[in-house]
């Protein structure tokens, strides 16, 4: 793959994530339905993209994922009106008061959060470390622990980051699934991957996807759902998003994770220009993608 194409895939992934988030946000919490996304008004992103931006900026500044620095960036740039998960807001408030990170996460939930908050923001890690799976997975864990220390919350981030890194290089379909499966550590996700393969092998209704893979805020009920959306509909950005929002539930985050993959696959050229024109912070996110691309070449 030439450099220009690879850079466009970096752009497609981050801008895809931001579009998936902001296009999904109006449908968050609704029951399943035949919804269609709408780009006729300005598109505002939520916590998913805000945290992705903070993480990406911290990686660029530090040239690495340093959990303390990532936590600092999350706190410094926090806009509490962006729809953060309640656990994440509480953890960040405790860290701000001086409580050490891992202690703070366990004060909120006994073993830390297994929400999808670490997975939804992790795409920059998959982009920067795409060349080295071991480094990519370790960095995903470091990017999770400021807010998500539960093994399932972390595993969700590992899976999304590795997917981004692989799709970026053109690995899709069955090869993508089998590499991901080899890197799974938890029984819960192993079970979900069995279901994923079963559902992809046949005609599957939206209701069956919701029932068996989930449409909720937990990592285990959204990460594999977003992979399904990408693997089934990823040759069209529009179809990926419309499928994600039609599920109802955590539409913005499932949309963000699926669209980070579809964007990495289709490149910036595969994203709808009339939506990009209306996306909040379009230029800022584009620049971040370019800077991550340069950093990935350097590391």
Interatomic CA distance for residues 277 and 249, integer angstroms = 27
Among 80, 86, 170, 273, binds ligand AR6 (CB under 6 A): 86
Interatomic CA distance for residues 17 and 20, integer angstroms = 5
Q: Which of residues 81-100 bind Mg ion (CB under 5 A)?
A: 83
109 lines the binding site for ligand AR6 (CB under 6 A): yes
Among 23, 47, 58, 90, binds Mg ion (CB under 5 A): 47
The vertex-118 CA angle with 112 and 190, nearest 5°, equals 80
Which residue, among 40, 176, 123, has the nearest Cα to 289 in the 3D structure?
A: 123
46 lines the binding site for Mg ion (CB under 5 A): yes
Rg (CA), the chain: 17
221 lines the binding site for ligand AR6 (CB under 6 A): no
Interatomic CA distance for residues 2 and 172, integer angstroms = 18
Choose from ligand AR6, Mg ion, none: what does 167 bind? Cβ within 5-8 Å by kind: none
155 lines the binding site for ligand AR6 (CB under 6 A): no
Nearer to ligand AR6, 80 or 173 (CB): 80
Residue 30 is given by DSSP the state: P
Q: How far is the CB of 50 from Mg ion (least distance, A)?
A: 9
The vertex-146 CA angle with 228 and 261, nearest 5°, equals 25
Among 8, 49, 113, 186, binds ligand AR6 (CB under 6 A): 113
Choose from Mg ion, ligand AR6, none: what does 165 bind? Cβ within 5-8 Å by kind: none
For tokens 């009920």, name the residue. Answer: 221
Q: Which of residues 241-270 bind Mg ion (CB under 5 A)?
A: 252
Among 16, 20, 24, 117, binds ligand AR6 (CB under 6 A): 117
Nearer to ligand AR6, 120 or 167 (CB): 120
The alpha carbon torsion through 156, 131, 125, 275 (nearest 10 deg) reads -100
Residue 31 is given by DSSP the state: P
Question: Count of residues binding ligand AR6 (CB under 6 A)?
Answer: 22
DSSP string for residues in 237-286 = HHHHHHHHHHT-SSHHHHHHHHHHHHHHHH-GGGS-HHHHTTBTTHHHHH
Residue nearest to ligand AR6 (CB): 85
Interatomic CA distance for residues 289 and 7, integer angstroms = 8
Binding site for Mg ion (CB under 5 A): 46-48, 83, 252
Binding site for ligand AR6 (CB under 6 A): 46-48, 83, 85-88, 109, 111, 113-117, 120, 150, 217-218, 250, 252-253
């Amino acid at each position: 793959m030439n450099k220009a194409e690879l850079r466009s895939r970096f752009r497609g992934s981050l801008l895809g994530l931001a579009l998936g988030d902001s296009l999904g946000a109006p449908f968050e919490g609704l029951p399943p339905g035949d919804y269609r996304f709408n780009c006729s008004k300005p598109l505002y992103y939520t916590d998913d993209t805000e945290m992705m931006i903070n993480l990406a900026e911290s990686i660029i500044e530090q040239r690495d994922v340093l959990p303390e620095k990532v936590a600092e960036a999350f706190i410094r740039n926090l806009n509490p009106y962006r729809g953060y998960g309640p656990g994440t807001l509480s953890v960040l408030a405790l860290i701000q008061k001086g409580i050490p990170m891992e202690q703070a996460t366990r004060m909120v939930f006994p073993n830390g959060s297994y929400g999808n908050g670490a997975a939804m923001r992790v795409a920059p890690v998959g982009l920067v470390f795409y060349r080295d799976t071991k480094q990519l997975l370790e960095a995903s864990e470091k990017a999770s622990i400021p807010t998500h220390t539960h093994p399932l919350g972390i595993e969700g981030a590992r899976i999304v980051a590795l997917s981004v890194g692989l799709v970026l290089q053109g690995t899709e379909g069955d090869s993508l699934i089998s590499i991901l499966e080899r890197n799974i550590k938890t029984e819960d996700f192993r079970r979900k991957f069995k279901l994923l393969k079963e559902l992809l092998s046949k005609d599957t209704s939206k209701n069956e996807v919701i029932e068996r893979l989930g449409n909720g805020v937990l990592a285990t009920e959204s990460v594999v759902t977003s992979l399904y959306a990408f693997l089934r509909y990823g040759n069209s950005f529009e179809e990926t998003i419309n499928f994600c929002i039609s599920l109802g539930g955590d539409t913005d985050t499932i949309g963000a994770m699926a669209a980070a993959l579809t964007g990495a696959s289709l490149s910036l050229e595969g994203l709808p220009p009339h939506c990009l024109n209306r996306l909040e912070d379009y230029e800022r996110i584009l620049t971040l993608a370019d800077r991550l691309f340069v950093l990935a070449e350097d590391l």
